[in-house]
């Protein structure tokens, strides 16, 4: 049994670590609000078990059942109230009415017990606790104004019933002040927690909308560029083809010249289209670094970037190292349980390269490497990166440390070997979107 509970807790912790930032915040906030309800249950349970010796045992048992119902309704109302406040469910009128009625009934029963002598003066303490937690879940269902008015009415009624039960003015003043302070603190805590969760949801929706807009804008730019490149040429091809048909029907030798011109324009259009596509498929190191930091931080991974050498890199080196950053980032997201990731880019002085020249070094290191054999291999991301860097005279190494770190290091000479080039423009491993590199 203990093993099952431990494995379940470890599984929950593992899922919590892998969750996104907004999901983690939601789980943490819900857990905090649930802990308030559990705290109320613990306080009331402590009073039931260790109550005053002057209390009538015949009244303690019914009160214990009543307070168990109050705490159960508290938990239920926190769950349903958050759903209503976040707009994912209807208003839980039934649980709200049941919770309010049971809490007020519990306070009234305690004061009645004090007035009849069945309960000692110490029974005023659980009444104060009930009042302190009372407005918390209700502010998720009612407006602030209505919840405040309801809390004021309940507190005033409690003061009157306590005075009628014979509670001393000194104790009455202290308990009233404690109840008032607790109601204000817990009411504000519940409301602010729900409001913050809603803001986080709105921010996440805005970020998703921004991503969709960015994709739509890129598609629009791509379609506009293709239209500008191919639109005029295709119109010319259509007109010259029609003219060639008419000339051919008349037996004019000029039809051959027109079709030769159509062939030239078609080849020119094909070349221009390739240039447009090549420009969209190339990577940029600065863009990849910024994107990696944003994606990793969104996944809850602390990403630190140290860039002290990208200023002197040429276009081919920018593209090649950009692919390293893209593949390494995907590798961290898919094949690691990382909490931090560091990216360091620097240029080593003469002597760093085999030929004695300067070399650009990019290192990505994270602390979430799985043990050897923990993940299935079979990917071609690292192999593709090695081939890409080899075309520039560079190398790529991946090392797993004994402390659970994984270090991906790329070294490329600033002056690549003769005949080197960026080679392929697609994604490594055959995926233009940067398929994840398997470890």
Whether 9 maps to a domain, the answer reads no
Q: Number of structural domains, the chain?
A: 3
Q: Indicate the residue among 207, 228, 254 that finishes a domain.
A: 207
Residue owning tokens 């308990």? 175
**pLDDT for the residue numbered 56:** 62
Q: What angle do CA 426, 293, 210 make, to 5 degrees?
A: 80
**pLDDT for the residue numbered 422:** 40
Same domain, 269 and 192: no
Same domain, 119 and 266: no
Same domain, 42 and 188: yes
How far apart CA 296 and CA 365 sit, in angstroms, is 13
Structure tokens at 86: 């976040």
**pLDDT for the residue numbered 12:** 53
Q: Which domain holds residue 347?
A: 285-430
Same domain, 18 and 127: yes
CB 165 within 8 A of CB 117: no
Whether 435 maps to a domain, the answer reads no
Q: Indicate the residue among 207, 226, 256 that finishes a domain.
A: 207
**pLDDT for the residue numbered 11:** 55
How far apart CA 368 and CA 301 sit, in angstroms, is 10
CATH number of the domain within which 261 lies: 1.20.5
Q: Indicate the residue among 144, 173, 207 that finishes a domain.
A: 207
For β-strands 302-307 and 395-400, DSSP reports them as unpaired
Same domain, 231 and 258: yes
Whether 79 maps to a domain, the answer reads yes
CB 133 within 8 A of CB 117: no
Same domain, 54 and 199: yes
Whether 230 maps to a domain, the answer reads yes
Whether 318 maps to a domain, the answer reads yes
Same domain, 169 and 59: yes
How far apart CA 123 and CA 135 sit, in angstroms, is 21
Same domain, 188 and 228: no
Whether 23 maps to a domain, the answer reads yes
Same domain, 55 and 108: yes
CATH number of the domain within which 353 lies: 3.30.565.10
Whether 349 maps to a domain, the answer reads yes
Same domain, 151 and 300: no
**pLDDT for the residue numbered 193:** 92
Whether 342 maps to a domain, the answer reads yes
Q: Is the pTM of this model over 0.85?
A: no
Same domain, 331 and 423: yes
pLDDT tens-place values along the chain, 439 residues long: 444 444 555 555 566 556 567 788 888 898 899 999 999 989 888 887 776 555 566 677 888 898 899 999 999 999 999 999 988 889 999 999 999 999 999 898 888 888 887 887 778 888 899 999 999 999 999 999 999 999 999 999 989 988 888 887 888 888 889 999 999 999 999 999 999 999 988 888 887 787 778 778 778 877 877 777 777 788 888 888 888 888 888 888 888 888 988 888 888 888 888 777 766 666 678 888 888 888 788 777 888 888 876 776 777 888 888 888 988 888 888 777 788 899 999 887 654 444 557 888 999 999 877 666 544 444 467 788 888 888 888 999 988 888 888 999 999 988 654 444 444 333 333 333 333 333 3
Q: How far is the CA of 39 from the CAs of 125, 327, 387, in angstroms?
A: 14, 47, 60
Same domain, 179 and 119: yes
Please give the distance of CA 76 from its chain centroid, rounded to a whole number. Answer: 26
How far apart CA 183 and CA 177 sit, in angstroms, is 10
Closest by alpha carbon to 138, among 126, 127, 151? 151
């Amino acid at each position: 049994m203990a093993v099952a509970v431990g494995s379940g807790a470890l599984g929950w912790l593992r899922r919590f670590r892998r969750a996104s930032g907004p999901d983690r915040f939601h789980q943490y906030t819900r857990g905090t609000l649930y802990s308030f309800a559990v705290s109320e249950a613990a306080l009331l349970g402590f009073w039931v078990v260790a109550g005053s010796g002057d209390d009538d045992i015949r009244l303690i048992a019914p009160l214990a059942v009543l307070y168990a119902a109050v705490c159960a309704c508290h938990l239920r109302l926190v769950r349903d109230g958050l759903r209503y406040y976040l707009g994912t469910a209807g208003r839980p009128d039934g649980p709200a009415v049941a919770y309010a009625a049971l809490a007020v009934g519990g306070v009234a029963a305690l004061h009645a017990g004090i007035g009849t002598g069945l309960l000692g003066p110490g029974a005023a303490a659980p009444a104060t606790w009930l009042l302190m937690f009372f407005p918390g879940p209700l502010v998720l269902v009612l407006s602030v104004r209505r919840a405040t008015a309801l809390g004021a009415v309940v507190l005033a009624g409690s003061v009157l019933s306590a005075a009628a039960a014979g509670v001393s003015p000194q104790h009455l003043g202290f308990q009233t002040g404690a109840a008032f302070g607790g109601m204000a603190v817990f009411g504000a805590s519940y409301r602010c927690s729900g409001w913050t969760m809603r803001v986080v949801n709105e921010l996440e929706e805005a970020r998703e909308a921004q991503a969709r807009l960015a994709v739509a804008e890129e598609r629009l730019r791509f379609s506009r560029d293709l239209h500008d490149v191919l639109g005029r040429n295709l119109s010319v091809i259509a007109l010259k083809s029609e003219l060639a048909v008419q000339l051919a029907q008349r037996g004019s030798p000029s039809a051959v010249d027109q079709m030769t011109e159509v062939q030239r324009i078609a080849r020119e259009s094909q070349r221009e289209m390739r240039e447009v596509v090549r420009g969209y498929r190339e990577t940029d190191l600065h863009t990849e670094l910024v994107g990696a930091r944003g994606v990793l931080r969104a996944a809850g991974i602390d990403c630190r970037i140290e860039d002290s050498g990208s200023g002197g890199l040429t276009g081919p080196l920018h593209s090649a190292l950009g692919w390293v950053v893209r593949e390494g980032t995907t590798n961290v997201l898919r094949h690691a349980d990382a909490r931090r990731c560091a990216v360091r880019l620097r240029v080593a002085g003469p002597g760093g390269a085999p030929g004695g020249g300067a070399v650009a070094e990019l290192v990505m290191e994270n602390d979430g490497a799985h043990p050897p054999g923990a993940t299935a291999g079979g990917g071609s991301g690292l192999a593709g990166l090695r081939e890409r860097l080899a075309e520039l005279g560079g190398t790529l190494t991946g090392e797993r440390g004994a402390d659970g770190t994984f270090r991906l290091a790329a070294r490329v000479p600033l002056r690549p070997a003769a005949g080197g080039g960026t080679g392929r423009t697609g994604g490594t491993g055959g995926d233009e979107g940067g398929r994840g590199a398997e470890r």
